[in-house]
Amino acid sequence: MKLLTLTTRYYLLLFLLILGIWSLVFYAVMRYEVYENSDEILLNRKNQVLGIIKQSREVPLAKDEYNDFVIHPLSSGLLPNTQDMYGDTLIYEPTDNEFDEYRKLTTRFTFDKKSYGMVIFKPRLETTEIVNTIAITLLSLYAVLVLALAFTSRKLSKKLWQPFYSTLNRLREYRLDQESSLLLDPTRIKEFEQLNQSIEQLTGKNRQIYLNQKQFIENASHEIQTPLAIIQSQIELLFQNSTLEESQSEILHEILSQTDRLSKLNNALLLLSKIENNQFFDKTRVLIKPLVEKILTYFEEHTEKYALQVSVDIPLNAHVHTNPMLMEILLSNLIKNAFVHNKQNGFIRVAVIEKIILVENTGEELAISPDTLFERFRKQSKSKGALGLGLAIVKTICEINKWKVNYNYQDNLHKISVQF
Amino acid sequence: MKILIVEDEQPLLKSITSYFSEENYVCEGVATFNEAIEKVHLYDYDCILLDITLPDGNGLKILEALKAQKKAQGVIIISAKNSLDDKINGLDLGADDYLTKPFHLSELNARVKAVIRRKKFDTNDVIELGNIQINLLQRVAFANQTPLNLTRKELDILLHLIANKNYVVSKSSLAEQLWGDHIDQVDSFDFLFTHIKNLKRKLSGASARVEIKTVYGIGYQLLET
């Protein structure tokens, strides 16, 4: 739930409570005023009637339908009680066939030494009407408040929260390895400004750490090249020595092989960091078919040895717009994989269907989880030469090009697809 | 042939120098930028091997100096950085080749020979050894005027071995020639063995006056007979 929706809800609940209490108070005040008013009218009427009696010296005992009072003689034994009594009563109104609410004043008076009782009636504002009035006014007020709040909160959420959402979007898109530093739009709102500052500091620090580590890997890789070059050249010099025994030669060649391997590993790591550094930015139109065919020539011996059936299913004009070197590395790694993880009399198919490069090959099911397949140093084969970086490189190349790479195992086939 | 080796790592400088000395090259080795500048001003070389990261200066400056003097010597850059920028800059400044550390000495040797051949005999694309002739443009090899019908890889092996005639060339170095990083070593040694076997058969079949000797555990050696 949005913060503003939540606050609006609380406000509306609060308003409801206030208006509820308010309506009770309002009702009490209204009712008091109505009664006060009716009673005053009744009292005035009483004085008026008594005045008329005094003047006309006659008590109008007969009940007049249109009169609003009734006078009846009281038995003489009773003492005149001049205290007025106000009360409510219902009177049937035949015209609209309902009972109307009236206020009545019961009083007594003495005239010509005779006691009389008098009841005066006056219609008054009915309770339901009071309640209705209050309900209508307050409910409409509440409705207006709800609408106003909803409207302002929507407007506000767009306007006030705009810096927040812009920060959020920038954060969502931010890639530590791709962008320089995170620069957020300045805002007048203090909290958001503080938030932005903290985020900028945090990302800045993280980026610095990331850059340092990357720099470290690069430097380390470069520094390793020279000692490797020295070892390699010294061994090659030793090879020229004709007095070497066979067992010594074998040891030396193993050392040389491992140096080669170390150097390849080092180069692969350097390559990864270079790709991540976006150092291969020159893009051109790369035709896929000739590239695949060229790469396949490196595997002629494999094809022959394992009696593999290799099929290439690529339209002549199939192409991608990317860096040619990266494209070659990508295809080479995928194809190499298809050869290495194959079996005797197996098959390999490299196809391009619309915007998907598909590499399929026979082979045993993975022993590792397919989810981790593209991670660094995840090796399936126990092959001595495998570095475990091939698919990590493939993935990085895909990421840099914003392509999708997928693996699945279906019908005894490993299938890797790259959607470009 | 005179070669200048500019390399600040002493052990590497030493091994390159001693490797090339066996080829009857005259090798001079220097370890600093200033020495190198002095040498190229004073003498002419057939080929210069240049490490561009030197303690007292950038090797690319030496290339600029050579260009300014209009000296037409072959230059091969040796760098620990496999940097595309360095490579492009270096080649722009007149370097003939670029080799990344670590490298096989046999590879360096082959490249030096290629550079010298290009500089000296601009139009000559034929390599001869004994009764073997290889046309580099058409990529065909003959022994006693009869075509050897070598496959592409067999020819590459032969060329690499001829460039390193009399040297023991390691299997690793040959494998790298043929497949680069594309396939793994373990497989490549097996495949290499088959290719060499076929190559030997074709050479002896045409009674070529060279012999490819297997040096147990290490690699192969091409000798003239």
Return d(Cα B8, Cα B29) in angstroms, integer.
9
Could you tell me the CATH number of the domain that includes residue B17? Answer: 3.40.50.2300
- At residue A394 the predicted structure's pLDDT band, cuts being 50, 70 and 90, is very high
Query: Are B25 and B62 members of one domain?
Result: yes
Query: Are B113 and B167 members of one domain?
Result: no
Cite the residue boundaries of each domain of chain A with CATH code 1.10.287.130. Answer: 176-279
pLDDT of residue B196: 95
Q: Do A237 and B15 touch (CB under 8 A)?
A: yes
Query: Are B105 and B181 members of one domain?
Result: no
Helix (H, G, I), strand (E, B) or coil at A309: strand
Average pLDDT over residues B120-146: 85
Q: Which segment of A272-281, A393-402, B72-81 scores lowest on mean pLDDT?
A: A272-281
Final residue of a structural domain among B93, B120, B147: B120
pLDDT of residue B84: 72
- Domain A284-419 fold is Heat Shock Protein 90 (3.30.565)
Does the pTM of the predicted model rise above 0.80?
no
Please work out, in degrees rounded to the nearest 5, the angle formed at the alpha carbon of residue A225 by the alpha carbons of A220 and A231.
Answer: 130
Q: Do A233 and B16 touch (CB under 8 A)?
A: yes
Q: Which of residues 267-286 of A touch B (CB under 8 A)?
A: 267, 270, 279-280
Going by C-alpha positions, the residue among A307, A219, A206 that lies closest to residue B81 is A219
> From the candidates B16, B86, B105, which should be mutated to test the interface with A, based on the most A CB atoms within 10 A?
B105
Query: Are B13 and B76 members of one domain?
Result: yes
Q: Do B183 and A250 touch (CB under 8 A)?
A: no
First to last CA, chain A: 38
8 A C-beta contact, residue B3 and residue B26 = yes
**Residue A267 is nearest to which of B82, B179, B219, comparing CB atoms?**
B82
Cis ω for the linkage preceding B102 (within 30 of 0): yes
- What is the Cα A257 distance to its own chain's centre? 54
Query: Are B150 and B63 members of one domain?
Result: no
Query: What is the tens place of the pLDDT at every residue in A200-246?
Result: 899 889 888 888 888 888 788 888 888 999 999 999 999 888 788 88
Question: Which residues of A157-214 form beta strands (DSSP E)?
Answer: none
Q: Do A260 and B186 touch (CB under 8 A)?
A: no
Greater confidence, B185 or B146? B146
Longest dimension (CA), chain B: 55
Query: Are B135 and B220 members of one domain?
Result: yes
Q: Do A339 and B16 touch (CB under 8 A)?
A: no
Average pLDDT over residues A22-32: 90
Return d(Cα B94, Cα B74) in angstroms, integer.
9
Final residue of a structural domain among B90, B120, B150: B120
- How many domains does one find in chain B? 2
pLDDT of residue B92: 87
Q: Which of residues 338-397 of A touch B (CB under 8 A)?
A: 339-340, 383-386
Q: Please, what sign has the CA dihedral across residues A297, A300, A303, A309?
A: positive
Please give the C-alpha separations between residue A309 and each of A296, A322, A350, B194, in angstroms, as whole numbers: 12, 29, 11, 21
pLDDT of residue A176: 77
Does the pLDDT value for residue A120 go beyond 80? yes
Tokens for B38? 């002095």
On chain A, the residues whose CB falls within 8 A of the CB of B22 are: 240
- At residue A346 the predicted structure's pLDDT band, cuts being 50, 70 and 90, is very high
Residues of B107-131 as b/e, b for ≥16 C-beta within 10 angstroms?
Answer: bbbbbbbbbbbeeeeeeeeebebbb
On chain A, the residues whose CB falls within 8 A of the CB of B15 are: 230, 233-234, 236-237
CATH 1.10.287.130 is the classification of domain A176-279: yes
Q: Do B15 and A234 touch (CB under 8 A)?
A: yes
Q: B126-129 and B132-135 as β-strands: parallel, antiparallel, unpaired?
A: antiparallel
Please give the C-alpha separations between residue B139 and each of A201, B53, B126, B212, in angstroms, as whole numbers: 61, 36, 10, 20
Residues recorded for chain A = 420
Q: Do A239 and B191 touch (CB under 8 A)?
A: no
Query: Are B67 and B89 members of one domain?
Result: yes
Longest dimension (CA), chain A: 163
**Residue B185 is nearest to which of A239, A252, A385, comparing CB atoms?**
A385
Query: Are B55 and B16 members of one domain?
Result: yes
Mean pLDDT for chain B overall: 89
Where in the sequence is the domain holding B219, given as residue range(s)?
Answer: 126-224
Could you tell me the CATH number of the domain that includes residue B167? Answer: 1.10.10.10
Query: Are B103 and B30 members of one domain?
Result: yes
Query: Are B179 and B159 members of one domain?
Result: yes
Final residue of a structural domain among B120, B143, B161: B120
pLDDT of residue A261: 86
Nearest chain B CA: its distance from A315 CA (Å): 24
Return d(Cα A97, Cα A377) in angstroms, integer.
95
Query: Are B132 and B83 members of one domain?
Result: no
Nearest chain A CA: its distance from B69 CA (Å): 31
| ipTM passes above 0.95 | no
Greater confidence, A63 or A311? A311
Q: Do A385 and B101 touch (CB under 8 A)?
A: no
DSSP code per residue over chain B: -EEEEE-S-HHHHHHHHHHHHTTT-EEEEE-SHHHHHHHHHH---SEEEEESEETTEEHHHHHHHHHHHT---EEEEEES---HHHHHHHHHTT--EEEESS--HHHHHHHHHHHHHHHH-TT--EEEETTEEEETTTTEEEETTEE----HHHHHHHHHHHHTTTSEEEHHHHHHHHHTTSS-HHHHHHHHHHHHHHHHHHHHHTT-SEEEEEETTTEEEEEE-
Query: Are B148 and B206 members of one domain?
Result: yes
Average pLDDT over residues A364-387: 73
> Can you tell me which residue has the tokens 């390793």?
A224
Q: Which residues does residue A285 pair with via DSSP β-bridges, in sequence order? A: A321
Average pLDDT over residues B22-35: 90
**Residue A298 is nearest to which of B167, B183, B216, comparing CB atoms?**
B183
